[in-house]
Amino acid sequence: MTTYGIGTQSQQQALDALDALENMTQGIEPIAYQEYQARIAKAQRYMQEHDIDAIYLNAGTNLKYFTGMQWYASERLVGAILPASGAVEFIAPTFEIGSLLDYQVIEGPINDWQEHESPYALFAKVLQNMGISEQATIGIDESTAFFVADGIAKAAPSLNLINAKEVTAHCRMHKSENELALIQRAMDMTLAVHKATASMLHEGITTTQVEAFINQAHKKVGATGNYFCIVLFGKASSFPHGVKEPQVLKKGDVVLVDTGCKLEGYLSDITRTYVFGKANERQRTMWQHEKNAQIAAFDAAKIGATCADVDYAARSYLANQGLGPDYDLPGCPHRTGHGIGLDIHEWPYLVKDNPQLLAPGMCFSNEPMLVLPDEFGIRLEDHFYMTEAGPKWFTQPSHSIDDPFGLNKD
């Protein structure tokens, strides 16, 4: 059994927090076969309109998004060719075919290669067999390792290779109702974990022990565990993605917890920041500025506004408080938000100069973090998605620094 605290009472406190959680995955609906077909059809319409003959989907989230096949990238080429018209075809090592068939949702031939053979030469041959010319324009999955793209380029030098991002992003940045429901449930699960975590903190606990608790808590609500977890106390909270050494909690410390889980491949990502014990005036002031910046960004997220407009709203509020400007510290050192879905960070991004127009189905984090070097950091991160009527929160923002989860509201 994991020891979460230094004494019997604190250990029981952690166990009680775990016991209060329950599995939250009942009634979820995985992505249906028909939705994969619709995704392929949307991609093919785009390719036909933009003179792209095919795209290569490497093992990873793009392969999963369009075909349902869950496989992880390695030194061996595993992927699929999605043509502008016609059926998907897969490429994989011969010895992996049995396993791949177990994961296959969208059916299609698996073109196989033995260990001593070139998968890149096979790639060129498959294109030829599909009736795609040697001078065709082929989009390469943007997450593809360089050695794969380089191998394809050398095996088929006449191809016009481009970044497939314009196709993949065009499809993936607009979430379906089913995708939104999966993300919503994953967010609900992680928010429950956040509440449980706040209830088990005590003086002397380490960030490592809190991370272990959060992992168990995510399992309790039905996830396989943490997809990621950042726990920071005190001055360490001023480093957005953490520090090397664990910290020990003491009264008056800022506590920053950023964590998420996966549900049917879709991710949650929530950050809560509060003070263990009584907050001082500076902590209160900066916490409120962070919340106000987050709300300013949300209020700017209108259909037809740009991603840059949302980032500007948060950053201009902070500048008016003497924070920043731009990325200067004390202030917000990074973009206001990122997209989310099968990847923890995906398109589109709420960042300066991004002209992408907001449209229904887009999902974003909203986290214009405040960093006060050598003091502390405040990050409040919730996600919203765009509807025809405007933005809608997946999770409600923190209530106050003293009551971050709104447990004491009337």
Alpha helices in 146-304 (DSSP H): 146-155, 165-172, 177-200, 207-220, 281-300
pLDDT in single tens digits along all 410 residues of the chain: 344 544 556 788 899 999 999 999 999 999 999 999 999 999 999 999 999 999 999 999 999 999 999 999 999 999 999 999 999 999 999 999 999 999 999 999 999 999 999 999 999 999 999 999 999 999 999 999 999 999 999 999 999 999 999 999 999 999 999 999 999 999 999 999 999 999 999 999 999 999 999 999 999 999 999 999 999 999 999 999 999 999 999 999 999 999 999 999 999 999 999 999 999 999 999 999 999 999 999 999 999 999 999 999 999 999 999 999 999 999 999 999 999 999 999 999 999 999 999 999 999 999 999 999 999 999 999 999 999 999 999 999 999 999 999 987 55
The answer to whether the CB of 254 falls within 8 A of the CB of 378 is yes
pTM above 0.85, yes or no: yes
The one-letter code for the residue type at 8 is T
Placement of tokens 């949300």 in the chain: 298
DSSP string, 301-352: --TT-BHHHHHHHHHHHHHHTT--STT-SSB--S-SEEE-SSSSSEEEEE-T
